[in-house]
């Protein structure tokens, strides 16, 4: 059996592309756009998200037969909030500058629809290993969109990638100017809109 | 007073919680299809924000912030890392109470808001407002004004969006751009318009 046909592989790859949480399902955009001015913050955000969603899926899936139905939301929120606190404290201890730049947005992973959505829709009805892979896939799909958006914004907006200057000084001398608009909030909305258009057109073909 | 007016205007226009900080996008996109539901949800968000921001301020200042437990005899305890879980619990409880009240007093609104009311609990705008309030060291009165202003800003955005989407129904859009794609682009244009307020100071 080819690896692309196994259930685990499908579980991973669907949310990365065809069922992408941001572009197709429109979940979790809340925190996605504010951190995309620089690639560095976008990547840290993507990794934090992957960590939280995969482990919350794993833990909730392990407990799925023990959670009473009526109080499941609060149990899920408690698991997610604990993971987010871990992530936040870790970033604050080891990467203080990035944690300052991400400001409240790491905390907002708690209310990110992706995490609770996957817990409700997938982890509650699937075995732990599949739930974990599903979490990894969703985190990767989310991170991919973040990195694409931040690539466009940082490259056009300040001529940098990961804080390193990419566009040579000669260009600026010749009259090239950075597009300051890319660094402002509206640019993120418009780029996401165009990406959704692109991805939907490609999928339909 | 001037300071309070400034915080209010800033949270409604320049620092609009949705258009400048992208918070509350999920329900914004899902509910802005219908202007009546959008108005209802807008009022619900204003109401919840005006209550949760000061309540969370009290909890943070008297229980969680570094040295807050001095009144109980523990001056060296710092529980501020607990703020995420405490805030979300407070918000969930208040939303639950609101749901019961609306169900009791306005069946029409309850039917309209339907599944979206519980979603307010996980609306990033609500938690985001509380977290911004802590980050910006607001006082109690400022937190009330900030909560109310953020709610008004969010409602303004979602109601205008619902109105625009009503007009968009008759627009001939390329396939693939319909629905979410065009919603995001229009939101971007709206965000640009709101940024023009940034020159205003009192």
Q: Is the pLDDT of residue A81 over 70?
A: yes
* Residue showing tokens 């609990």: B121
Q: What is the pLDDT of residue A3?
A: 63
DSSP state of B61: I
Give the Cα separation of A123 and A58 in Å (integer): 7
Q: What is the pLDDT of residue B122?
A: 63
Please give the average per-residue pLDDT across B127-148, as a whole number: 89
Q: What is the pLDDT of residue B128?
A: 86
Name the maximum alpha-carbon separation found in chain B. Answer: 67
B52–A contact, CB cutoff 8 A: no
Give the Cα separation of A143 and A199 in Å (integer): 16
Query: Would you place residue A4 in the very low, low, confident or very high pLDDT band (cuts 50, 70, 90)?
Result: low
Q: Is the pLDDT of residue B114 over 60?
A: no
Contacts (Cβ under 8 Å, ≥6 apart) of A86: none
The better pLDDT of the pair B77, A194 is held by A194
Q: What is the pLDDT of residue B115?
A: 56
Q: What is the pLDDT of residue B26?
A: 76
Please give the average per-residue pLDDT across B157-164, as a whole number: 90
Q: What is the pLDDT of residue B202?
A: 56
How many helices, marked H, and strands, marked E, lie in chain A? 9, 2
Give the Cα separation of B14 and A37 in Å (integer): 18
The pTM for the full model equals 0.82
Give the Cα separation of A11 and B86 in Å (integer): 34
Query: What SS3 state is found at A165?
Result: strand
Domains in chain A: boundaries: 37-204
Q: What is the pLDDT of residue B152?
A: 92
pLDDT tens for A26-63 read 677 766 677 888 888 889 989 998 999 999 999 988 98
- The partner residue sitting opposite B84, judged by closest CB among A26, A34, A110, is A110
Mean pLDDT across chain B, nearest whole number? 82
Is residue B48 within 8 A of residue B93, CB to CB? The reply is no
Is residue A162 within 8 A of residue A200, CB to CB? The reply is no
Most A CBs within 10 Å, among B27, B185, B194, B195, to test the A interface: B185
Please give the average per-residue pLDDT across B87-116, as a whole number: 78
Q: Is the pLDDT of residue A97 over 60?
A: yes
Please give the average per-residue pLDDT across B36-54, as a whole number: 85
Query: What SS3 state is found at A160?
Result: strand
Cβ atoms within 10 Å of A1's Cβ, excluding its own: 5
| Whole-number Cα distances in Å, B17 to A17, A139, A201, B22, B58 | 29, 25, 31, 6, 22
Do A204 and B175 make contact, defined as CB atoms within 8 angstroms?
yes
* Residue showing tokens 């007016």: B5
């Amino acid at each position: 059996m080819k690896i692309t046909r196994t259930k685990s592989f499908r579980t991973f790859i669907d949310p990365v592309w065809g069922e992408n949480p941001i572009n197709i399902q429109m979940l979790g955009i809340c925190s996605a756009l504010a951190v995309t001015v620089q690639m560095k913050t976008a990547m840290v955000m993507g990794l934090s998200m992957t960590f939280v969603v995969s482990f919350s899926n794993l833990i909730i899936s392990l407990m799925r037969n023990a959670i009473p139905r009526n109080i499941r939301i609060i149990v899920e929120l408690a698991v997610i909030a604990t993971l987010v606190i871990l992530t936040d404290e870790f970033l604050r201890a080891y990467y203080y500058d990035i944690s300052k730049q991400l400001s409240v947005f790491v905390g907002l992973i708690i209310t990110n629809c992706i995490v609770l959505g996957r817990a409700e829709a997938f982890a509650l009805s699937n075995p732990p290993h599949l739930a974990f892979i599903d979490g990894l896939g969703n985190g990767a799909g989310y991170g991919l969109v973040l990195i694409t958006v931040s690539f466009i914004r940082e490259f056009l907006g300040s001529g940098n990638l990961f804080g390193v200057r990419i566009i040579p000084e000669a260009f600026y001398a010749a009259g090239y100017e950075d597009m300051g608009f890319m660094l402002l909030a509206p640019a993120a909305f418009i780029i996401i809109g165009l990406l959704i258009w692109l991805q939907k057109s490609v999928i339909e073909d | 007073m001037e300071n309070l007016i400034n915080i209010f205007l800033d949270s409604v226009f320049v620092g609009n919680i949705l258009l400048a900080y992208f918070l509350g996008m999920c329900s914004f996109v899902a509910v802005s299809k219908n202007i009546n539901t959008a108005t209802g949800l807008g009022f619900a968000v204003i109401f919840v924000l005006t209550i949760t921001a000061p309540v969370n301020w009290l909890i943070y200042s008297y229980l969680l912030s570094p040295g807050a437990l001095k009144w109980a005899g523990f001056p060296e305890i710092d529980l501020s890392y607990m703020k995420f879980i405490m805030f979300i619990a407070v918000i969930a409880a208040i939303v639950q109470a609101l749901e019961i009240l609306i169900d009791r007093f306005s069946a029409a609104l309850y039917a309209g808001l339907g599944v979206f009311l519980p979603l307010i609990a996980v609306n990033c705008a609500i938690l985001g407002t509380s977290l911004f309030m802590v980050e910006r060291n607001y006082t109690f009165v400022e937190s009330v004004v900030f909560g109310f202003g953020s709610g008004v800003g969010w409602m303004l955005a979602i109601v205008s969006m619902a109105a625009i989407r009503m007009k968009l129904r008759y627009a001939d859009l390329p396939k693939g751009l319909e629905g979410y794609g065009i919603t995001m682009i229009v939101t971007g244009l709206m965000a640009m318009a709101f940024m023009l307020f940034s020159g205003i100071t009192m």
